[in-house]
Amino acid sequence: MDILLSIVVLLGLGVILGFGLAVAAKILYVKEDERIAEVAKRLPNYNCGSCGYAGCNAMAEAIVTGKEQSLKKCKPGKEETNFNPIIQYLNEHPNDDGSKVNVHL
C-alpha cells in the first residue's frame, strides 16, 4: 500500500511541477539563433575549454556572431568530421542580411 501511495504522490508532484515548468518555459522563452545549436552540434562537444571559451556552446555562439573566425582554436576538432561540416553549414545558412559568416580553418 505504501509503495502504491509513494508512486502516486511522487508522480502527481512530478506532473504538477513539470507542467508548471513547461508553462514557465513558454512564458520566459528567449529567442536564440538556431544556427548556434546547429554549429554546437557539429563541434566535438567535449567542453574541454581549450579554445578559450567556456564550452562548445560558447564557442559556437562566438563563431555565429562573427567574434571567432578561426575554427582551429578548437583543439580536439577534426577537419573532416567537425570543421568542414561547420563551414558547409554556415555557407548554406547566411546571416539575415544576406552576408556570409566569416570562418576559416
By the criterion CB under 8 A, which residues form the site for another protein?
2, 5-6, 9-10, 13-14, 17-18, 20-21, 24-25, 28-30, 54
DSSP 39-59: HHHHS------TTSSSSHHHH
Cβ 104 to another protein, closest distance in Å?
A: 27
Cβ 83 to another protein, closest distance in Å?
A: 26
Cβ 14 to another protein, closest distance in Å?
A: 6
Query: Cα–Cα distance between 50 and 73 in angstroms, integer?
Result: 8
